Amino acid sequence: MRSLLFVPGDSERKLAKGFEAGADRLILDLEDSVAPERKAAARTLTADAVRSAPVPVAVRVNALSSGLIEDDLAAIMPAGPAMIVLPKSDTGADVQHLSALLTVLEAENGLADGGTEILAIATETAASLFGLGTYRGSSARLAAMAWGAEDLSSALGATRTREADGTLTDPYRLARTLCLAGAVAAGAAPIDTVYTDFRDEAGLIATAKAAAADGFLGKLAIHPAQVGPINAAFTPSPEAIAHAQRVVDAFAAAPGAGVVGLDGAMLDRPHLVLAEQLLARAAAVRPPSA
C-alpha cells in the first residue's frame, strides 16, 4: 500500500470521487473529518460505500475511549471492510482490544475469523510515544502503523510541528522515527503521515521521497491530487530495480561468499537483504502509470 487516501465518510460526493483517485487503499473516515452531529449519517453512508466498493477498503473508526467506536463497528462490520483504522492508539494493548471486538463481530456477521486487518495510528497522544515498542505480537491483524502530527501537537499544546524551512520539530521527528522502528519490529508496514498543505506538490514530493528513503512503505493522503506523487515516490525506480538486480546477481555468482565487491564498493549481507526487499516491492506494485 503506497497511497492511502482519506475520504470523509459523510460526503457522498467525495465517497464517489475517491474511487477514481487511483489510491492503493481508501480510508473512509468516521473520525476527525466528520462532525459529531454527522456521525450517524456517516455510518450509514460509509457502510453502503463499503458494500458497493469495487475494491477492498478501510474504515477509520473513532478512538477506543470515544464512546463511539461500538456504534461505528456495529454499523460497519456487516459490510465487511478489509481493514479498520484505529486512531489515537496508545499501545499494543489497544490493538488487542480492537482485535477482540472484531473477532466477535466477524463471528456475528459470518465473516472469516481474523480476516479484518488493523492499521494503528500510533503517535496521536502524549502517552503513545512511550508505547511504540509494545506493538510486536499484539495481534496477527496488525498490518500497518502510521504516525500523526496534528493530534499529537494538540495533545502537547504545540503551536507548530515544523520549522520555517519545513523540517519537523523534535517531538514529531521522534514520533516519526519511533513509529518506523515500532512498525518494523512488529512486522507491520510503516506508513508516513499526511501532508496537510494539499496545494504544495513540491513539499509533498519531498516528504514522500524522504519517507520512502527512510524505509516507510506508504503515505497517508487527504486529497486526490496527492495520490499520483505518493505512488510515484513509493514505486522503486527502474534504476533502483536494475541496481538491486545487479546486487542479487553478484551474490548469486559467488556462492558461499559473505561479501562481494560491485563497482568498487563492498557489499555484505544487509545489502543483499535490501536488494531482495526492493525487488519484492517492485514486483508487488503496479507501474506508476497504471
Binding site for ligand COA (CB under 6 A): 5-8, 13-14, 17-18, 29, 32-33, 194, 198, 222-224
Nearer to ligand COA, 29 or 192 (CB): 29
Residue 172 binds which of ligand COA, Mg ion, none (CB < 5-8 A, kind-dependent)? none
Residue 92 and residue 115 in contact, taking contact as beta carbons nearer than 8 Å: no
**Which residue blocks in 158-268 are alpha helix, DSSP H?**
170-186, 201-214, 227-233, 238-252
Rounded to whole angstroms, the Cα distance separating 227 from 68 reads: 30
Rounded to whole angstroms, the Cα distance separating 242 from 239 reads: 5
Residue 151 binds which of Mg ion, ligand COA, none (CB < 5-8 A, kind-dependent)? Mg ion
165 exposed, middle or buried (CB, 10 Å; 0-12, 13-18, 19+)? Answer: exposed
Angle at 186 between CA 185 and CA 187, to 5 degrees: 95
Residue 188 binds which of ligand COA, Mg ion, none (CB < 5-8 A, kind-dependent)? none
**Cell numbers that stand for 245 in this block:** 538486480
Query: Does residue 32 interact with Mg ion by CB under 5 A?
Result: yes
203 exposed, middle or buried (CB, 10 Å; 0-12, 13-18, 19+)? Answer: middle
Binding segment for Mg ion (CB under 5 A), chosen from 39-47, 75-83, 144-152, 182-190, is 144-152
Nearer to Mg ion, 59 or 267 (CB): 59
**Cell numbers that stand for 121 in this block:** 495510528
Count of CB atoms situated within 10 Å of the CB of 86:
24
Q: Residue of minimal CB distance from Mg ion? A: 32
Interface residue with Mg ion, options 151, 172, 267, 278 (CB under 5 A): 151
Query: Does residue 106 interact with Mg ion by CB under 5 A?
Result: no
CB of 161 to Mg ion, least distance (A): 13
- How are the residues of the chain apportioned to helix, strand and coil, as percentages rounded to the nearest 5? 50, 15, 35
Count residues binding Mg ion (CB under 5 A).
2
Residue 33 binds which of Mg ion, ligand COA, none (CB < 5-8 A, kind-dependent)? ligand COA
Binding segment for Mg ion (CB under 5 A), chosen from 26-34, 137-145, 200-208, 213-221, is 26-34
The residue whose grid cell reads 514529531 is 172
CB of 45 to ligand COA, least distance (A): 13
Nearer to ligand COA, 105 or 211 (CB): 211
Residue 173 binds which of ligand COA, Mg ion, none (CB < 5-8 A, kind-dependent)? none
Rounded to whole angstroms, the Cα distance separating 257 from 260 reads: 7
Residue 289 binds which of Mg ion, ligand COA, none (CB < 5-8 A, kind-dependent)? none
Residue 162 binds which of Mg ion, ligand COA, none (CB < 5-8 A, kind-dependent)? none
Can you give the binding site for Mg ion, defined by CB under 5 A? 32, 151
